[in-house]
Amino acid sequence: MSESPSSAVSSPLATIWTLAVVTFKRLRRGKAMWIGVGLAALPIAYAIARRARGAAVAPDELFAAAMVLLALLPAMFVASSVGEDIEDRTSTYLWSRAIPRWAVLAGKLCALAPVVIVLLAGSWYATIQLGAPASPSLSSVLAMVAGCIAASLIAAGIATVVPKHGMVLSIGYLLVDNFIGAMPFSLAELSITHQATLLAMLDGPHPIATPLFVMALVSGLWAAIGVVRIGRLEV
């Protein structure tokens, strides 16, 4: 307790690391982690059940199921964490500290996006291994990782706009994104699940530049909304 009043504030990296560690610790001790694990296990169980009945499942069918999980897990983890801190006013502890507010979002994303990635990419890998006739391609795993990152950024942005209903609206947004992505219209190009499916190259090689660009654009837009919004919020 001997720091001088003029001592420097924490660096952004140190702040993000501290917030990430705390966020992960809270997640590990809560129920959401186990609900997420249970949800991630559903496609694996489905694939095993189908395989046991002698009917291997096509990878694109399993990927579509994984895309539905992509609508659930980022919302459950990221949107609820960001939204609850604002809604419960625990954010007052953070925002009264000598830290930039964007670092709060970054810290949460650094803790929670990897959890989403491990659960979804892990689920995808295990599902294909156990349920499909082939091993999962590297491109499909990387597509899942890119989808998780994009969906986490979108969920974070939505939660800053509507903290109270951040999780529900994020799920709704990403389900609509799924629906739009399945439509045979040009609007589907704006869907991150559609772009993730293209990236996965399940039906043959595709150029990756456009899917990556669209995913970065859409998720970057939501992340920017989140950063601007959290900088202006008053609690």
Partner 1 sequence: MTSGIVVADHCSKWYGHVLGVSEVTWTLGRGIVGLLGPNGAGKSTLIKMMAGLLRPSRGSLTVYGARPFDDVAVRRRIGYAPEHDATWDELTALELVTAMARLAGVPAAKAGRAAEDAIAQMGMTAAMHRRVRGFSKGMRQRTKLATAIAHDPDFVLLDEPLTGVDPIARADIVERIKQLGAAGKTIVVSSHVLYEIEALTSDIVVIYRGQVLAEGNVYEIRRLIDRHPHRIRVECDQPRAIAAALAPEDHIARLSFERGGIVIETRDPDRCYDQLASAVLAANVTVSALSSPDNNLGAVFEYLTGDGGRR
Our CA angle for 79, 116, 149, nearest 5°, is: 75
Nearer to partner 1, 80 or 123 (CB): 80
Rounded Cα–Cα distance for residues 164 and 162 (Å): 6
Q: Which stretch binds partner 1 (CB under 8 A): 53-61, 88-96, 172-180, 187-195?
A: 88-96
164 belongs to the binding site for partner 1 (CB under 8 A): no
Taking the complex as a whole, the smallest distance from the CB of residue 48 to partner 1 amounts, in Å, to: 33
Q: Are 145 and 117 in contact (CB under 8 A)?
A: yes
CA-CA-CA-CA torsion for 91, 96, 100, 103, nearest 10 degrees?
A: -30
Q: Which stretch binds partner 1 (CB under 8 A): 6-14, 71-79, 171-179, 184-192?
A: 6-14
Taking the complex as a whole, the smallest distance from the CB of residue 227 to partner 1 amounts, in Å, to: 15
Nearer to partner 1, 15 or 127 (CB): 15
Residues 48-76: b if buried by 16+ CB within 10 A, e if exposed: eebeeeeeebebeebbbbbbebbbbbbbb
Taking the complex as a whole, the smallest distance from the CB of residue 89 to partner 1 amounts, in Å, to: 5
Map residue 162 onto helix, strand or coil: coil
Q: How many residues bind partner 1 (CB under 8 A)?
A: 32
Taking the complex as a whole, the smallest distance from the CB of residue 47 to partner 1 amounts, in Å, to: 33
Q: Provide φ and ψ at 8, rounded to 5°.
A: -65, 155
Q: Which stretch binds partner 1 (CB under 8 A): 12-20, 38-46, 118-126, 148-156?
A: 12-20
Nearest to 192 by CA among 161, 140, 146: 146
29 belongs to the binding site for partner 1 (CB under 8 A): yes
CA-CA-CA-CA torsion for 38, 136, 194, 204, nearest 10 degrees?
A: -160
Kindly list the residues in this chain that would bind partner 1 in the complex (CB under 8 A): 1-3, 5, 7-10, 14-15, 18-19, 21-22, 25-26, 29-30, 88-90, 92-100, 234-235
